[in-house]
Structure formats: structure tokens, C-alpha cells
Amino acid sequence: MVGNAERGTPAALRSALRGVRRMFRPPTPKITATVRLPAGPPIMSLAELEAQAAGFPSMGGLELAPFLRGLGRAAPADAAIVEVGVWLGAGTAQLACALAQRAREGAAVPVLYCYDRWLAQKSEVQKTASRNTWALKRGQNTLPRVVEALSPFGVEICFRQGEIIEAQWADGPIGVYIDDASKKPKLFRTVMRKFGPHWIPGKTVVLLMDYSFYLSTGNEEHSCQARFVEAHADHFEPIDLDVREPGCAAAFRYVKEVDFEAAIARGVL
């Protein structure tokens, strides 16, 4: 919205132009798909898999590599690992490295469930181009490329493509929950309602990769995750991420059951 004082300024003209462009832009196609990558025999050594994992374009997963590997090593075999906001699979590859190692040692491993729209946005195309990594095109369905890149790890991964607000969960208990997408209240409330009741008190680790994003954006909406966790301080025990560069991620052990519906009613979710 342009106020009277701003009318005619370059910023106002740019904003109006953006509005006109939006009006004529074809609606973004909604893609929904489920792809299941089955567990397979090892086709690479663990060292080769680690090198492969280090080459994924990353918006956080690579920076948290040691922590994610630790999560993959410790995740209960009889509960799922859920990753919401996967992008090109940088974090998934780190988890998959740890799971591949466990599988080679003859241990049972959990299934990974990945949620994303996998539709390349302009900013993502620019990011991969500037880092000289994968070449993406705007609007490209990136899921086939992600599935291909994760297939050598030989671990079972279920990819659920679509808008996270419409995501479904009917796959049992969740031992690890990783979220790098639900920064705003409506989406965060939705995912907490869907996935939270399947967390296991005393076991599940919750990694919120945008936890303190609000400190850099100053956007009050981005503090929804912190507001929720702080209102349930005796339900979430902080875990040290042990990373060299402080980012905005935070991890917690879910130690005591949360009443998600009551939290919504109290206005803290």
C-alpha cells in the first residue's frame, strides 16, 4: 500500500510495478507427489558418501553437518525422522550418511520422511548459481534431482512434495523432527498440530533451524517458534548444537508431553 507522501517516489513506483507484474504472472503450479526411495545395497564407500554429502548446495544442512550426523547415529530405529523444508537435501544427505553407516554395521535404521514443495524460486536459482553448484531454472521441479542425488546413500527416504500446510502424517512415532520452513505462526501452528502429537516424550529431538531468525529480521512473526518453546520450558530441554558459527538454529529434547490444542487456545502457538 502506498501512502500519499510516498506517491510518485522511485520506491513507490517500483512497488506498483511489482504489483502489476504479480497480476500478470501465471499462478504457480501446485505439484504434489510422493516418491519412495527404497533402501538399497551400498554402491559407494562411506568416505565417498561423505564427500558426496559435502557437495550438496546448502542453506543450513551443511553448516550443521556434525550435529545432523549425530542425530542420524542416535535416532531410534523404530520411529521416523521427519524433515520439513529440505531444499536440495543438504541436511538429508548428512542424516543419510549416518544411517548408511548404521545399516552397514547391520543395525536397523529409521525411515526418513522429507517434506518440501521442491519448486525452484528465483532466490534459490541465484543462490545455487552464485555458489557455482547445481544449475537450477526458476520454476523447476527440483525433486527428481534431489532424489537422484540422495539415491547412492542406499537409505529409505519418503519424499512428500507439496505445500507443507497440506502435509499429512499417519506414519507412527517420530524420533527426530527437523524444521527449516515453518517460520511464521500459521504454518508453525499447523505443523505442530500435525507432527507434534507423534513426538515421544523423553526421546524425540526437535531441531528448529529458524528458531532465532527473528533476531536478524526483527519480524515479530518469526518469533513464533521461540514463543512456543519458551512457554513450554519444562517440556523442551536445550541441546548444544556445538557449531563454530552461531546461526539461528536451536535443538531440544522433547522431555514432557505438550497439549498442542491447549497451547493454541492459550495463544502461545
Ligand X SMILES: C[S@@+](CC[C@H](N)C(=O)[O-])C[C@H]1O[C@@H](n2cnc3c(N)ncnc32)[C@H](O)[C@@H]1O
Q: Please tell me the count of residues contacting ligand X according to CB under 6 A.
A: 17
Q: Is 164 in the site for ligand X (CB under 6 A)?
A: yes
Candidates 38-46, 52-60, 99-107, 246-254; binding stretch for ligand X (CB under 6 A)? 52-60
Q: Is 181 in the site for ligand X (CB under 6 A)?
A: yes
CA-CA distance, 171 to 113, in Å (whole number)? 9
Q: Is 149 in the site for ligand X (CB under 6 A)?
A: no
CA-CA distance, 169 to 172, in Å (whole number)? 8
Binding mask 7-46 for ligand X (x = CB under 6 A): ----------------------------------------
Q: DSSP characters for 130-169?
A: HTT-----TT-B-HHHHHHHHGGG---EEEEES-GGG---
Near ligand X by CB under 6 A: residue from 60, 72, 152, 154 = 60
**Residue closer to ligand X, measured from CB, 109 or 178:** 178
Taking the complex as a whole, the smallest distance from the CB of residue 231 to ligand X amounts, in Å, to 24
Residue type, 47: A
Cell numbers for 154:
542406499
Site for ligand X in 108-147 (CB under 6 A): 116-117
Taking the complex as a whole, the smallest distance from the CB of residue 247 to ligand X amounts, in Å, to 11
62 Cβ contact partners less than 8 Å away, ≥ 6 residues apart: 54, 56, 90, 91, 94
111 Cβ contact partners less than 8 Å away, ≥ 6 residues apart: 80, 81, 156, 157, 158, 171
Site for ligand X in 209-238 (CB under 6 A): none
Half-sphere exposure of 70 (CA within 13 A, CB side): 12
Q: Is 239 in the site for ligand X (CB under 6 A)?
A: no
Q: Is 94 in the site for ligand X (CB under 6 A)?
A: no
CA-CA distance, 134 to 82, in Å (whole number)? 24
Q: Is 91 in the site for ligand X (CB under 6 A)?
A: yes
Q: Provide the binding-site residues for ligand X, judged by CB under 6 A.
A: 58-61, 85-87, 90-91, 116-117, 163-165, 180-181, 187
